[in-house]
């Protein structure tokens, strides 16, 4: 899986895979209480609630609201150890991250690592909706937290 020595693999990747992210997969918004803010998103803005999911390993509860081919992801901490709680304590509620739908997430992470881009996740991990995700450190992007996100090919949305 890890093949940092293989230059030819890297060159092949450059040729065969588009570097351009396909779309904004979602925008993550940190909130204290999803149930409390949800009516604004569904009733006031009129967005369709797609799913609500608690991810114990990440210590978060998420709600995905569909908007065209993108989503808004609400993120609520489920306990004080949650990274979302740390974010709320430091910055308050608001936009937390921007997720880009990408191809070949593992190769891209290796590429960024080789280029010295600071990464929060050097390897992709399981995200919501059958996706593989990894976060780039916000110091790589002037304070913006970017998530790379790759959905399985079977999953069309
Ligand atoms: Zn996300």
Can you tell me the mean pLDDT for 14-34? Answer: 86
Give the Å distance between the CA of 39 and the centre of ligand 1.
21
Q: Is the pLDDT of residue 135 over 90?
A: yes
What residue ranges do the domains of the chain occupy?
20-155
Q: Which of 43, 36, 40 is nearest to 76 (CA)?
A: 36
Give the Å distance between the CA of 44 and the centre of ligand 1.
23
Token pair 């590429």 is found at: 111
Share of the chain above pLDDT 90, in %: 75
Q: Tell me, what's the pLDDT at 37?
A: 98
Give the Å distance between the CA of 74 and the centre of ligand 1.
9
Give the Å distance between the CA of 120 and the centre of ligand 1.
13
Q: Is the pLDDT of residue 2 over 80?
A: no
Report residues near ion ligand 1: CB below 5 Å: 28, 73, 99, 147
Residues 69-116 pLDDT 10s? 999 999 999 999 999 999 999 999 999 999 999 999 999 999 999 999
Give the Å distance between the CA of 149 and the centre of ligand 1.
8
Q: Tell me, what's the pLDDT at 155?
A: 45
Give the Å distance between the CA of 99 and the centre of ligand 1.
6
Give the Å distance between the CA of 73 and the centre of ligand 1.
6
Q: Tell me, what's the pLDDT at 156?
A: 47
84-98, 118-132, 136-150, range with the lowest pLDDT:
118-132
Residues 40-64 pLDDT 10s? 999 999 999 999 999 888 899 999 9
Q: Is the pLDDT of residue 157 over 50?
A: no
Q: Tell me, what's the pLDDT at 25?
A: 96
**DSSP, residue by residue, the chain:** ---TT-HHHHHHHHHHS--S--EEEEEEEE-S-HHHHHHIIIIIS-PEEEEEEEEGGGTEEEEEEEETTEEEEEEEESSTTSHHHHHHHHH-SEEEEEEEE-S-HHHHHHHHHHTT--BS-SS-EEETTTEEEEEEPGGGGTT--EEEEEE-TT---
Q: Tell me, what's the pLDDT at 126?
A: 87
Q: Tell me, what's the pLDDT at 128?
A: 79
CATH dotted code for 20-155: 3.10.180.10
Give the Å distance between the CA of 64 and the centre of ligand 1.
9
């Amino acid at each position: 899986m890890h093949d940092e020595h293989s230059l030819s693999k890297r060159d092949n990747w450059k040729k065969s895979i588009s570097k351009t992210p396909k779309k904004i997969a979602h925008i993550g918004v940190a909130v204290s209480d999803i149930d409390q803010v949800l009516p604004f998103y569904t009733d006031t803005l009129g967005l369709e609630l797609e799913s609500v999911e608690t991810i114990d390993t990440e210590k978060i509860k998420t709600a995905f609201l569909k908007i065209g081919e993108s989503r808004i992801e609400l993120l609520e901490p489920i306990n004080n150890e949650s990274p979302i709680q740390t974010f709320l304590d430091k910055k308050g509620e608001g936009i937390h991250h921007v997720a880009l739908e990408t191809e070949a997430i593992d190769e891209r992470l290796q590429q960024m690592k080789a280029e010295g881009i600071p990464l929060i996740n050097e390897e992709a991990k399981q995200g919501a909706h059958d996706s593989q995700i990894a976060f780039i450190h916000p110091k790589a992007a002037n304070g913006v937290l970017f998530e790379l996100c790759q959905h399985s090919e079977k999953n069309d949305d």
